[in-house]
Amino acid sequence: MLEYLAYLSIMTGIYGILSLSLNLQYGFTGLANFGHVAFFCLGAYTSTILVVLVKGPFILGLLGGMVAAGLFGLLISIPTANLKEDYWAIATLAAAEIVRLFFLNEDWIFGRGPYHGGAFGIGGIPRPLQSWFSATTYPFFYLCIVILCLVLTYFTVRFLTNSPFGRVLKAMREGDDLPLAMGKDVSKFRMKAMAFGGAMGGLAGSLVAHFWSFIDPYQFMPIETFVVWAMVVVGGKGNNIGALVGAVIIQFFYISTLFLKDFIPIDPQVLASLRMVVIGVLIVLIMLFMKEGLIKEKKRVYQR
Amino acid sequence: MLKVIDVHKSFVGIKALDGVSLEVERGSITGLIGPNGSGKTTLFNVVSGFYPKDAGEIYLKGERIDELPPNEVAGKGLCRTFQISQAPEKMTVLENMLLAPKDQMGEGLWNAFFGKKRVMHQERHNLEKALYLLSSVELIDLSNEYAGNLSGGQKKLLALGRILMADPEIILLDEPTAGVNPTLNKSLMRLIEDLRKEGKTFFFVEHNMKVISDICDKVYVLDFGRKIAEGTPGEIQQNEEVLEAYLSGSSREWSRKVGIDT
Protein backbone atom coordinates (compact mmCIF):
# COMPACT_ATOMS: atom_id res chain seq x y z
CA MET A 1 0.00 0.00 0.00
CA LEU A 2 2.76 2.35 0.98
CA GLU A 3 4.51 1.71 -2.31
CA TYR A 4 1.30 2.38 -4.14
CA LEU A 5 1.09 5.67 -2.33
CA ALA A 6 4.63 6.44 -3.44
CA TYR A 7 3.64 5.59 -7.02
CA LEU A 8 0.67 7.93 -6.75
CA SER A 9 2.78 10.72 -5.35
CA ILE A 10 5.35 10.32 -8.10
CA MET A 11 2.68 10.57 -10.80
CA THR A 12 1.05 13.51 -9.05
CA GLY A 13 4.42 15.22 -8.83
CA ILE A 14 5.10 14.68 -12.54
CA TYR A 15 1.67 16.00 -13.46
CA GLY A 16 2.29 18.87 -11.05
CA ILE A 17 5.30 19.88 -13.17
CA LEU A 18 3.15 19.71 -16.30
CA SER A 19 0.43 21.71 -14.62
CA LEU A 20 2.87 24.40 -13.49
CA SER A 21 4.36 24.71 -16.95
CA LEU A 22 0.94 24.97 -18.61
CA ASN A 23 -0.01 27.52 -15.99
CA LEU A 24 2.96 29.65 -17.09
CA GLN A 25 1.70 29.50 -20.66
CA TYR A 26 -2.05 29.58 -20.21
CA GLY A 27 -2.60 30.97 -16.72
CA PHE A 28 -0.12 33.80 -16.97
CA THR A 29 0.48 34.42 -20.67
CA GLY A 30 -2.97 33.47 -21.95
CA LEU A 31 -1.59 31.03 -24.52
CA ALA A 32 -4.25 28.40 -25.17
CA ASN A 33 -1.74 25.62 -25.64
CA PHE A 34 -3.69 22.52 -26.65
CA GLY A 35 -0.52 20.65 -27.47
CA HIS A 36 1.19 20.54 -24.13
CA VAL A 37 1.60 16.77 -24.33
CA ALA A 38 4.11 17.35 -27.16
CA PHE A 39 6.64 18.56 -24.61
CA PHE A 40 5.88 15.61 -22.35
CA CYS A 41 6.36 13.24 -25.28
CA LEU A 42 9.52 14.89 -26.57
CA GLY A 43 11.05 14.93 -23.11
CA ALA A 44 10.32 11.24 -22.65
CA TYR A 45 11.64 10.20 -26.06
CA THR A 46 14.68 12.44 -26.08
CA SER A 47 15.69 11.25 -22.66
CA THR A 48 15.17 7.64 -23.69
CA ILE A 49 17.25 8.09 -26.83
CA LEU A 50 20.07 9.75 -24.92
CA VAL A 51 20.14 7.17 -22.14
CA VAL A 52 19.26 3.97 -24.01
CA LEU A 53 20.90 4.51 -27.38
CA VAL A 54 23.67 6.99 -26.60
CA LYS A 55 24.24 5.33 -23.19
CA GLY A 56 24.45 8.68 -21.47
CA PRO A 57 23.75 9.19 -17.78
CA PHE A 58 20.27 9.95 -16.42
CA ILE A 59 21.08 13.61 -15.89
CA LEU A 60 22.06 13.99 -19.55
CA GLY A 61 18.70 12.50 -20.51
CA LEU A 62 16.92 14.90 -18.20
CA LEU A 63 18.71 17.97 -19.57
CA GLY A 64 18.47 16.72 -23.15
CA GLY A 65 14.74 16.21 -22.76
CA MET A 66 14.35 19.74 -21.47
CA VAL A 67 16.42 21.26 -24.26
CA ALA A 68 14.58 19.32 -26.97
CA ALA A 69 11.15 20.23 -25.62
CA GLY A 70 12.18 23.85 -25.08
CA LEU A 71 13.48 24.12 -28.63
CA PHE A 72 10.25 22.60 -29.90
CA GLY A 73 8.31 25.23 -27.98
CA LEU A 74 10.41 27.89 -29.65
CA LEU A 75 9.96 26.26 -33.04
CA ILE A 76 6.17 26.08 -32.96
CA SER A 77 5.85 29.68 -31.83
CA ILE A 78 7.60 30.94 -34.98
CA PRO A 79 5.13 29.95 -37.74
CA THR A 80 2.15 30.55 -35.43
CA ALA A 81 3.22 34.06 -34.41
CA ASN A 82 0.40 35.78 -36.28
CA LEU A 83 -2.44 33.42 -35.42
CA LYS A 84 -5.32 34.53 -33.23
CA GLU A 85 -6.04 32.61 -30.06
CA ASP A 86 -8.38 29.87 -31.36
CA TYR A 87 -6.35 29.19 -34.50
CA TRP A 88 -3.23 29.18 -32.41
CA ALA A 89 -4.79 26.54 -30.14
CA ILE A 90 -5.62 24.34 -33.13
CA ALA A 91 -2.07 24.68 -34.45
CA THR A 92 -0.60 23.54 -31.14
CA LEU A 93 -2.98 20.58 -31.02
CA ALA A 94 -1.75 19.57 -34.46
CA ALA A 95 1.88 20.09 -33.50
CA ALA A 96 1.50 17.65 -30.60
CA GLU A 97 -0.01 15.03 -32.86
CA ILE A 98 2.85 15.49 -35.33
CA VAL A 99 5.34 14.72 -32.57
CA ARG A 100 3.43 11.65 -31.44
CA LEU A 101 2.93 10.33 -34.98
CA PHE A 102 6.59 10.90 -35.71
CA PHE A 103 7.59 8.57 -32.90
CA LEU A 104 4.84 6.13 -33.86
CA ASN A 105 6.00 5.81 -37.45
CA GLU A 106 9.72 6.47 -37.45
CA ASP A 107 10.64 3.18 -35.84
CA TRP A 108 14.10 3.20 -37.43
CA ILE A 109 15.24 5.38 -34.53
CA PHE A 110 15.22 2.37 -32.25
CA GLY A 111 15.35 -0.14 -35.09
CA ARG A 112 18.77 -1.60 -34.51
CA GLY A 113 19.59 -3.71 -31.49
CA PRO A 114 17.24 -5.16 -28.95
CA TYR A 115 14.89 -2.21 -28.77
CA HIS A 116 11.73 -1.89 -30.79
CA GLY A 117 10.18 1.53 -30.95
CA GLY A 118 7.29 2.61 -33.09
CA ALA A 119 3.98 1.20 -31.95
CA PHE A 120 5.74 -1.46 -29.86
CA GLY A 121 7.20 1.17 -27.59
CA ILE A 122 10.58 1.04 -25.93
CA GLY A 123 11.14 -1.01 -22.83
CA GLY A 124 14.05 -1.39 -20.50
CA ILE A 125 14.67 2.28 -19.97
CA PRO A 126 17.12 2.30 -17.05
CA ARG A 127 16.03 3.77 -13.75
CA PRO A 128 18.71 5.95 -12.17
CA LEU A 129 20.68 4.26 -9.36
CA GLN A 130 18.31 1.32 -9.34
CA SER A 131 20.97 -1.11 -8.08
CA TRP A 132 21.38 0.93 -4.92
CA PHE A 133 17.85 0.21 -3.75
CA SER A 134 15.54 -2.75 -3.39
CA ALA A 135 12.33 -2.97 -5.41
CA THR A 136 10.32 -1.77 -2.43
CA THR A 137 12.46 1.19 -1.47
CA TYR A 138 13.19 2.43 -4.97
CA PRO A 139 9.89 4.32 -5.46
CA PHE A 140 10.67 6.39 -2.39
CA PHE A 141 14.04 7.36 -3.82
CA TYR A 142 12.45 8.25 -7.12
CA LEU A 143 9.82 10.25 -5.28
CA CYS A 144 12.63 12.36 -3.83
CA ILE A 145 13.97 13.08 -7.34
CA VAL A 146 10.49 14.05 -8.53
CA ILE A 147 9.88 16.30 -5.53
CA LEU A 148 13.22 18.00 -6.08
CA CYS A 149 12.31 18.68 -9.73
CA LEU A 150 8.84 19.85 -8.74
CA VAL A 151 10.19 22.28 -6.17
CA LEU A 152 12.74 23.65 -8.65
CA THR A 153 10.01 24.07 -11.26
CA TYR A 154 7.70 25.76 -8.79
CA PHE A 155 10.28 28.31 -7.74
CA THR A 156 11.39 28.97 -11.30
CA VAL A 157 7.82 29.63 -12.43
CA ARG A 158 7.10 31.73 -9.36
CA PHE A 159 10.25 33.74 -9.86
CA LEU A 160 9.53 34.29 -13.55
CA THR A 161 5.94 35.34 -13.01
CA ASN A 162 6.92 37.81 -10.31
CA SER A 163 9.65 39.42 -12.41
CA PRO A 164 9.20 42.28 -14.88
CA PHE A 165 9.32 39.56 -17.54
CA GLY A 166 6.24 37.97 -16.01
CA ARG A 167 4.55 41.36 -15.91
CA VAL A 168 4.74 41.58 -19.69
CA LEU A 169 3.38 38.04 -19.96
CA LYS A 170 0.44 39.00 -17.76
CA ALA A 171 -0.24 42.06 -19.91
CA MET A 172 -0.25 39.88 -23.06
CA ARG A 173 -2.87 37.64 -21.49
CA GLU A 174 -5.49 40.30 -22.21
CA GLY A 175 -4.47 41.12 -25.75
CA ASP A 176 -1.39 42.19 -27.66
CA ASP A 177 -2.37 45.78 -28.42
CA LEU A 178 -1.42 47.42 -25.14
CA PRO A 179 1.96 45.70 -24.71
CA LEU A 180 2.71 46.52 -28.35
CA ALA A 181 1.82 50.17 -27.82
CA MET A 182 4.17 50.15 -24.83
CA GLY A 183 6.99 48.94 -27.05
CA LYS A 184 7.08 45.29 -26.00
CA ASP A 185 7.99 42.79 -28.68
CA VAL A 186 5.14 40.40 -27.87
CA SER A 187 6.17 37.65 -30.28
CA LYS A 188 9.54 37.36 -28.55
CA PHE A 189 7.88 37.12 -25.16
CA ARG A 190 5.53 34.49 -26.51
CA MET A 191 8.46 32.47 -27.80
CA LYS A 192 10.18 32.62 -24.44
CA ALA A 193 7.03 31.53 -22.61
CA MET A 194 6.68 28.62 -25.00
CA ALA A 195 10.34 27.65 -24.66
CA PHE A 196 10.37 27.84 -20.87
CA GLY A 197 7.03 26.08 -20.42
CA GLY A 198 8.16 23.54 -22.99
CA ALA A 199 11.41 22.78 -21.20
CA MET A 200 9.50 22.16 -17.98
CA GLY A 201 7.09 19.87 -19.80
CA GLY A 202 10.12 18.04 -21.19
CA LEU A 203 11.46 17.58 -17.67
CA ALA A 204 8.18 15.90 -16.69
CA GLY A 205 8.50 13.70 -19.79
CA SER A 206 11.95 12.38 -18.97
CA LEU A 207 10.93 11.78 -15.37
CA VAL A 208 8.00 9.67 -16.49
CA ALA A 209 10.06 7.69 -19.01
CA HIS A 210 12.66 6.67 -16.44
CA PHE A 211 10.02 5.86 -13.88
CA TRP A 212 7.86 3.65 -16.07
CA SER A 213 10.94 2.36 -17.88
CA PHE A 214 8.63 1.80 -20.82
CA ILE A 215 7.15 4.34 -23.21
CA ASP A 216 5.04 4.10 -26.32
CA PRO A 217 3.28 6.73 -28.43
CA TYR A 218 -0.14 5.85 -26.99
CA GLN A 219 0.83 7.28 -23.64
CA PHE A 220 0.99 10.69 -25.25
CA MET A 221 -2.46 11.04 -26.74
CA PRO A 222 -4.11 14.51 -26.89
CA ILE A 223 -6.25 13.51 -23.90
CA GLU A 224 -3.18 13.98 -21.68
CA THR A 225 -3.12 17.64 -22.61
CA PHE A 226 -6.69 18.02 -21.46
CA VAL A 227 -6.03 16.26 -18.19
CA VAL A 228 -3.34 18.88 -17.53
CA TRP A 229 -5.75 21.61 -18.64
CA ALA A 230 -8.28 20.28 -16.14
CA MET A 231 -5.64 20.62 -13.42
CA VAL A 232 -4.94 24.25 -14.25
CA VAL A 233 -8.59 25.21 -14.68
CA VAL A 234 -9.80 23.41 -11.55
CA GLY A 235 -6.91 24.51 -9.35
CA GLY A 236 -6.96 28.11 -10.47
CA LYS A 237 -5.31 29.59 -13.52
CA GLY A 238 -2.70 32.20 -12.78
CA ASN A 239 -1.96 30.75 -9.37
CA ASN A 240 0.97 28.36 -9.00
CA ILE A 241 -0.28 26.80 -5.79
CA GLY A 242 -3.62 26.41 -7.53
CA ALA A 243 -1.97 24.54 -10.38
CA LEU A 244 -0.46 22.11 -7.88
CA VAL A 245 -3.72 21.69 -5.97
CA GLY A 246 -5.45 21.02 -9.28
CA ALA A 247 -2.88 18.32 -10.07
CA VAL A 248 -3.57 16.62 -6.75
CA ILE A 249 -7.36 16.78 -7.16
CA ILE A 250 -7.45 15.51 -10.72
CA GLN A 251 -5.01 12.72 -9.92
CA PHE A 252 -7.21 11.80 -6.97
CA PHE A 253 -10.28 11.55 -9.18
CA TYR A 254 -8.30 9.62 -11.72
CA ILE A 255 -7.12 7.08 -9.18
CA SER A 256 -10.25 6.86 -7.07
CA THR A 257 -12.16 5.41 -9.98
CA LEU A 258 -9.71 2.50 -9.93
CA PHE A 259 -10.87 1.56 -6.46
CA LEU A 260 -14.51 2.16 -7.24
CA LYS A 261 -14.72 -1.22 -8.95
CA ASP A 262 -14.40 -2.91 -5.56
CA PHE A 263 -17.57 -1.22 -4.39
CA ILE A 264 -19.74 -0.84 -7.47
CA PRO A 265 -20.29 -3.79 -9.76
CA ILE A 266 -19.50 -2.32 -13.15
CA ASP A 267 -17.22 -3.36 -15.93
CA PRO A 268 -13.71 -1.96 -15.28
CA GLN A 269 -13.59 -0.88 -18.94
CA VAL A 270 -16.66 1.28 -18.46
CA LEU A 271 -15.20 2.59 -15.26
CA ALA A 272 -12.03 3.68 -17.01
CA SER A 273 -14.08 5.78 -19.39
CA LEU A 274 -16.12 7.09 -16.50
CA ARG A 275 -13.05 8.85 -15.13
CA MET A 276 -13.11 11.21 -18.05
CA VAL A 277 -16.79 11.85 -17.42
CA VAL A 278 -16.03 12.67 -13.80
CA ILE A 279 -13.27 15.08 -14.79
CA GLY A 280 -15.51 16.63 -17.42
CA VAL A 281 -18.30 17.20 -14.91
CA LEU A 282 -15.80 18.71 -12.50
CA ILE A 283 -14.62 21.19 -15.13
CA VAL A 284 -18.19 22.16 -15.99
CA LEU A 285 -19.01 22.73 -12.32
CA ILE A 286 -15.89 24.82 -11.81
CA MET A 287 -16.65 26.86 -14.92
CA LEU A 288 -20.20 27.48 -13.75
CA PHE A 289 -19.66 28.25 -10.11
CA MET A 290 -15.98 29.13 -9.63
CA LYS A 291 -14.75 30.68 -12.81
CA GLU A 292 -11.32 31.39 -11.42
CA GLY A 293 -10.80 27.90 -10.02
CA LEU A 294 -10.44 26.76 -6.44
CA ILE A 295 -7.62 29.14 -5.63
CA LYS A 296 -7.90 32.59 -7.15
CA GLU A 297 -5.02 34.42 -8.70
CA LYS A 298 -3.15 36.41 -6.11
CA LYS A 299 -3.15 40.15 -6.50
CA ARG A 300 0.35 41.52 -6.83
CA VAL A 301 0.69 44.32 -4.32
CA TYR A 302 3.65 46.67 -4.55
CA GLN A 303 4.82 48.52 -1.51
CA ARG A 304 7.06 51.50 -1.44
CA MET B 1 8.60 66.15 -35.03
CA LEU B 2 5.94 64.07 -36.74
CA LYS B 3 5.31 64.42 -40.43
CA VAL B 4 2.56 62.62 -42.30
CA ILE B 5 2.75 62.86 -46.07
CA ASP B 6 -0.10 61.87 -48.35
CA VAL B 7 -1.18 58.81 -46.41
CA HIS B 8 -3.85 56.52 -47.85
CA LYS B 9 -5.62 53.70 -46.12
CA SER B 10 -8.63 51.76 -47.40
CA PHE B 11 -10.71 49.08 -45.85
CA VAL B 12 -12.99 46.95 -48.00
CA GLY B 13 -15.04 49.50 -49.89
CA ILE B 14 -14.19 52.46 -47.70
CA LYS B 15 -11.47 55.04 -48.08
CA ALA B 16 -10.66 55.66 -44.44
CA LEU B 17 -7.73 57.95 -45.21
CA ASP B 18 -7.56 59.66 -48.55
CA GLY B 19 -4.28 61.47 -48.91
CA VAL B 20 -3.83 62.98 -45.49
CA SER B 21 -0.80 65.21 -44.91
CA LEU B 22 -0.07 66.98 -41.68
CA GLU B 23 2.73 67.97 -39.39
CA VAL B 24 3.02 68.06 -35.62
CA GLU B 25 5.67 70.44 -34.40
CA ARG B 26 8.02 69.69 -31.55
CA GLY B 27 6.70 70.96 -28.24
CA SER B 28 3.27 71.74 -29.62
CA ILE B 29 -0.18 70.59 -28.62
CA THR B 30 -1.94 69.69 -31.83
CA GLY B 31 -5.57 68.71 -32.04
CA LEU B 32 -7.35 66.47 -34.52
CA ILE B 33 -11.09 66.79 -34.92
CA GLY B 34 -13.75 65.59 -37.28
CA PRO B 35 -17.16 63.91 -37.30
CA ASN B 36 -17.50 60.24 -36.37
CA GLY B 37 -16.01 58.01 -39.02
CA SER B 38 -13.85 60.73 -40.49
CA GLY B 39 -10.66 58.69 -40.05
CA LYS B 40 -9.12 60.13 -36.90
CA THR B 41 -8.57 56.85 -35.10
CA THR B 42 -7.48 55.19 -38.34
CA LEU B 43 -4.84 57.88 -38.73
CA PHE B 44 -3.62 57.16 -35.19
CA ASN B 45 -3.52 53.46 -35.92
CA VAL B 46 -1.52 53.99 -39.09
CA VAL B 47 0.91 56.43 -37.48
CA SER B 48 1.53 54.17 -34.48
CA GLY B 49 2.14 51.15 -36.71
CA PHE B 50 -0.98 49.17 -35.82
CA TYR B 51 -2.38 49.34 -39.36
CA PRO B 52 -0.14 49.12 -42.40
CA LYS B 53 -0.67 52.12 -44.67
CA ASP B 54 -1.61 51.64 -48.33
CA ALA B 55 0.47 54.57 -49.55
CA GLY B 56 2.28 57.60 -48.20
CA GLU B 57 5.13 58.33 -45.86
CA ILE B 58 5.39 59.01 -42.15
CA TYR B 59 8.45 60.52 -40.51
CA LEU B 60 9.31 60.83 -36.84
CA LYS B 61 12.20 63.19 -36.12
CA GLY B 62 13.16 62.87 -39.78
CA GLU B 63 13.23 59.09 -39.60
CA ARG B 64 10.79 57.02 -41.61
CA ILE B 65 8.51 54.95 -39.40
CA ASP B 66 5.72 53.78 -41.65
CA GLU B 67 7.22 50.34 -42.19
CA LEU B 68 7.84 49.62 -38.51
CA PRO B 69 5.75 47.38 -36.23
CA PRO B 70 4.00 49.17 -33.35
CA ASN B 71 6.46 48.11 -30.67
CA GLU B 72 9.34 49.63 -32.64
CA VAL B 73 7.43 52.84 -33.28
CA ALA B 74 6.93 53.06 -29.52
CA GLY B 75 10.64 52.41 -29.07
CA LYS B 76 11.42 55.44 -31.27
CA GLY B 77 9.54 57.65 -28.82
CA LEU B 78 5.98 57.76 -30.12
CA CYS B 79 3.35 56.34 -27.79
CA ARG B 80 -0.39 56.29 -28.14
CA THR B 81 -3.45 55.61 -26.03
CA PHE B 82 -6.58 53.84 -27.18
CA GLN B 83 -10.06 55.22 -27.52
CA ILE B 84 -11.41 52.20 -25.66
CA SER B 85 -9.31 51.18 -22.67
CA GLN B 86 -6.93 48.31 -23.37
CA ALA B 87 -5.63 48.18 -19.82
CA PRO B 88 -5.05 44.60 -18.67
CA GLU B 89 -7.92 44.29 -16.21
CA LYS B 90 -6.43 41.53 -14.11
CA MET B 91 -3.42 43.70 -13.34
CA THR B 92 -3.44 46.39 -10.70
CA VAL B 93 -3.09 50.08 -11.45
CA LEU B 94 0.52 49.96 -10.26
CA GLU B 95 1.31 46.90 -12.33
CA ASN B 96 -0.10 48.73 -15.33
CA MET B 97 2.19 51.63 -14.59
CA LEU B 98 5.27 49.47 -14.03
CA LEU B 99 4.66 47.66 -17.30
CA ALA B 100 5.26 50.80 -19.31
CA PRO B 101 8.90 51.93 -18.87
CA LYS B 102 11.20 51.20 -21.75
CA ASP B 103 14.46 49.23 -21.49
CA GLN B 104 13.49 47.30 -18.40
CA MET B 105 16.35 45.00 -17.52
CA GLY B 106 14.11 42.53 -15.74
CA GLU B 107 12.24 41.83 -18.95
CA GLY B 108 15.24 39.92 -20.25
CA LEU B 109 15.52 36.46 -18.81
CA TRP B 110 19.26 36.64 -18.23
CA ASN B 111 18.97 39.73 -16.06
CA ALA B 112 15.84 38.45 -14.35
CA PHE B 113 17.85 35.50 -13.11
CA PHE B 114 21.35 36.85 -12.72
CA GLY B 115 21.12 40.63 -12.51
CA LYS B 116 18.76 40.72 -9.59
CA LYS B 117 20.36 43.65 -7.84
CA ARG B 118 20.23 45.98 -10.82
CA VAL B 119 16.71 44.84 -11.65
CA MET B 120 15.57 45.57 -8.09
CA HIS B 121 17.19 48.97 -8.24
CA GLN B 122 15.44 49.81 -11.48
CA GLU B 123 12.13 48.50 -10.12
CA ARG B 124 12.41 50.72 -7.06
CA HIS B 125 13.14 53.71 -9.22
CA ASN B 126 10.17 52.95 -11.48
CA LEU B 127 7.92 52.40 -8.48
CA GLU B 128 8.72 55.84 -7.10
CA LYS B 129 8.05 57.39 -10.47
CA ALA B 130 4.79 55.46 -10.81
CA LEU B 131 3.56 56.64 -7.42
CA TYR B 132 4.46 60.21 -8.27
CA LEU B 133 2.61 60.06 -11.58
CA LEU B 134 -0.38 58.33 -10.01
CA SER B 135 -0.77 61.19 -7.62
CA SER B 136 -0.69 63.67 -10.48
CA VAL B 137 -3.49 61.82 -12.28
CA GLU B 138 -5.27 61.41 -8.94
CA LEU B 139 -5.28 57.62 -8.95
CA ILE B 140 -2.93 57.17 -6.02
CA ASP B 141 -5.67 55.82 -3.73
CA LEU B 142 -6.41 53.09 -6.26
CA SER B 143 -2.78 52.00 -6.71
CA ASN B 144 -3.39 48.41 -5.75
CA GLU B 145 -6.84 48.08 -7.26
CA TYR B 146 -7.37 45.92 -10.33
CA ALA B 147 -7.55 48.10 -13.45
CA GLY B 148 -10.76 46.26 -14.36
CA ASN B 149 -12.50 47.86 -11.37
CA LEU B 150 -11.84 51.43 -12.52
CA SER B 151 -14.50 53.60 -14.13
CA GLY B 152 -14.21 54.60 -17.77
CA GLY B 153 -12.82 58.01 -16.84
CA GLN B 154 -10.31 56.54 -14.42
CA LYS B 155 -9.11 54.19 -17.13
CA LYS B 156 -8.42 57.21 -19.34
CA LEU B 157 -6.36 58.70 -16.54
CA LEU B 158 -4.52 55.44 -16.08
CA ALA B 159 -3.76 55.37 -19.80
CA LEU B 160 -2.25 58.84 -19.55
CA GLY B 161 -0.27 57.91 -16.45
CA ARG B 162 1.00 54.75 -18.06
CA ILE B 163 2.11 56.55 -21.17
CA LEU B 164 4.03 59.06 -19.07
CA MET B 165 5.84 56.13 -17.44
CA ALA B 166 7.04 55.13 -20.90
CA ASP B 167 8.39 58.67 -21.25
CA PRO B 168 7.93 59.13 -25.00
CA GLU B 169 8.75 62.36 -26.82
CA ILE B 170 5.45 62.54 -28.63
CA ILE B 171 2.18 61.36 -27.16
CA LEU B 172 -0.89 60.51 -29.21
CA LEU B 173 -4.06 60.62 -27.14
CA ASP B 174 -7.31 59.22 -28.50
CA GLU B 175 -10.14 61.14 -26.83
CA PRO B 176 -8.41 61.60 -23.48
CA THR B 177 -11.26 63.53 -21.87
CA ALA B 178 -14.22 61.34 -22.85
CA GLY B 179 -15.84 60.10 -19.65
CA VAL B 180 -13.59 62.12 -17.35
CA ASN B 181 -15.45 64.47 -14.99
CA PRO B 182 -15.05 68.23 -15.62
CA THR B 183 -13.00 69.00 -12.50
CA LEU B 184 -10.53 66.25 -13.22
CA ASN B 185 -10.56 67.30 -16.83
CA LYS B 186 -9.19 70.69 -15.89
CA SER B 187 -6.33 69.24 -13.90
CA LEU B 188 -5.66 66.87 -16.76
CA MET B 189 -5.36 69.77 -19.17
CA ARG B 190 -3.03 71.54 -16.73
CA LEU B 191 -0.92 68.41 -16.56
CA ILE B 192 -0.70 68.29 -20.34
CA GLU B 193 0.33 71.94 -20.49
CA ASP B 194 2.97 71.41 -17.81
CA LEU B 195 4.36 68.45 -19.68
CA ARG B 196 4.48 70.48 -22.85
CA LYS B 197 6.60 73.03 -21.05
CA GLU B 198 8.97 70.19 -20.19
CA GLY B 199 9.32 69.53 -23.90
CA LYS B 200 6.74 66.85 -24.62
CA THR B 201 4.72 66.97 -27.82
CA PHE B 202 1.03 66.13 -27.87
CA PHE B 203 -1.22 65.14 -30.72
CA PHE B 204 -4.74 64.28 -29.79
CA VAL B 205 -8.22 63.45 -30.98
CA GLU B 206 -10.84 65.38 -29.11
CA HIS B 207 -14.55 66.12 -29.35
CA ASN B 208 -14.69 68.76 -26.69
CA MET B 209 -14.18 72.08 -28.51
CA LYS B 210 -13.60 73.89 -25.25
CA VAL B 211 -10.59 71.70 -24.54
CA ILE B 212 -9.36 72.25 -28.08
CA SER B 213 -9.62 76.02 -27.96
CA ASP B 214 -8.10 76.14 -24.48
CA ILE B 215 -4.88 74.31 -25.07
CA CYS B 216 -4.27 73.54 -28.74
CA ASP B 217 -1.76 75.51 -30.78
CA LYS B 218 -2.99 74.02 -33.99
CA VAL B 219 -5.95 71.98 -35.13
CA TYR B 220 -6.42 69.68 -38.11
CA VAL B 221 -9.91 68.78 -39.30
CA LEU B 222 -10.68 65.50 -41.05
CA ASP B 223 -13.82 64.65 -42.94
CA PHE B 224 -14.36 61.46 -44.99
CA GLY B 225 -10.68 60.67 -44.70
CA ARG B 226 -9.54 64.02 -46.05
CA LYS B 227 -7.99 66.95 -44.34
CA ILE B 228 -10.45 69.79 -44.88
CA ALA B 229 -8.88 72.46 -42.72
CA GLU B 230 -5.98 73.40 -40.50
CA GLY B 231 -5.21 76.39 -38.33
CA THR B 232 -5.50 77.81 -34.87
CA PRO B 233 -8.63 76.88 -32.90
CA GLY B 234 -10.01 80.38 -33.58
CA GLU B 235 -9.52 80.05 -37.32
CA ILE B 236 -11.13 76.62 -37.36
CA GLN B 237 -14.25 77.82 -35.62
CA GLN B 238 -14.66 80.47 -38.34
CA ASN B 239 -13.81 78.20 -41.25
CA GLU B 240 -16.63 77.96 -43.77
CA GLU B 241 -15.73 74.51 -45.00
CA VAL B 242 -15.57 73.11 -41.50
CA LEU B 243 -18.95 74.55 -40.68
CA GLU B 244 -20.37 73.11 -43.86
CA ALA B 245 -18.94 69.66 -43.16
CA TYR B 246 -20.53 69.64 -39.78
CA LEU B 247 -23.80 71.06 -41.00
CA SER B 248 -24.34 68.35 -43.54
CA GLY B 249 -26.87 65.78 -42.38
CA SER B 250 -25.86 63.50 -39.58
CA SER B 251 -23.06 65.76 -38.50
CA ARG B 252 -25.45 68.43 -37.30
CA GLU B 253 -25.66 66.98 -33.84
CA TRP B 254 -21.94 66.70 -33.62
CA SER B 255 -21.45 70.37 -34.42
CA ARG B 256 -23.87 71.30 -31.71
CA LYS B 257 -21.97 69.12 -29.31
CA VAL B 258 -18.62 70.72 -30.00
CA GLY B 259 -20.13 74.18 -29.73
CA ILE B 260 -19.84 75.36 -33.29
CA ASP B 261 -22.63 77.82 -33.61
CA THR B 262 -25.24 76.61 -36.03
User: ipTM score of the complex?
Assistant: 0.88
- Taking the C-alpha atoms of residue B82 and residue B84, their distance in angstroms, rounded to an integer, is 5
CB contact under 8 A, B144 and A299: yes
Would the pLDDT of B138 be above 70? yes
Helix-helix angle A222-235:A85-105, to 10 degrees: 140
Q: Is the pLDDT of residue A100 over 50?
A: yes
Poorest-pLDDT segment among A34-48, A151-165, A203-217, A284-298:
A284-298
C-alpha span between A52 and A64 (Å, rounded): 13
Whether residues B128 and A174 touch (CB distance < 8 A) is answered with no
Average pLDDT, chain A: 90
Name the residue of chain A whose CA is nearest to B105's CA. Answer: A164
pLDDT digits (tens, 9 = 90+) for B114-137: 888 899 999 999 999 999 999 988
- Single out the residue of B47, B50, B39 nearest to residue B64, CA to CA: B47
| pLDDT of res. B253 | 57
Selected residue with higher pLDDT from A225 and B208: A225
Report yes or no: B2 and B177 within 8 Å, Cβ to Cβ: no
The arithmetic mean of pLDDT across residues A196-224, rounded, is: 94
Span A52-72, mean pLDDT?
A: 95
Closest chain B CA to residue A188: B108
Confidence of residue A38 (pLDDT cuts 50, 70, 90): very high
Distance CA B38, CA B226 (A): 8
More confident site: B202 or A110: B202
Q: What is the pLDDT of residue A32?
A: 93
CB contact under 8 A, A177 and B128: no
DSSP state of A243: H
For residue B251, pLDDT over 80 is answered with no
Interface test with B, best of A163, A177, A189 (most B CBs within 10 A): A163
pLDDT band at A115 (very low <50, low <70, confident <90, very high): low
Residue A246 and residue A230: Cα distance in Å, rounded? Answer: 7
Angle between helices A138-162 and A240-260 (to 10 degrees): 150
- Asked if the model's pLDDT at residue B234 lies above 50, the reply is yes
User: Which of these, B4, B7, B16, lies nearest to B54 by C-alpha position?
Assistant: B7
pLDDT of residue B262: 41
Q: Is the pLDDT of residue B249 over 90?
A: no
Residues B74, A159: C-beta atoms closer than 8 Å: no
Checking if the pLDDT of A224 tops 70, the result is yes
Give the residue-averaged pLDDT of B70-74.
95
Query: Is the pLDDT reported for residue B84 higher than 90?
Result: no
Q: Give me the mean pLDDT over the A239-266 stretch.
A: 84
Parallel, antiparallel, or unpaired: how do β-strands B218-223 and B226-231 relate? antiparallel
The pLDDT of residue B112 is 81
Contact B66, A270 (CB under 8 A): no
* Residue B256 in this model has a pLDDT that exceeds 80: no
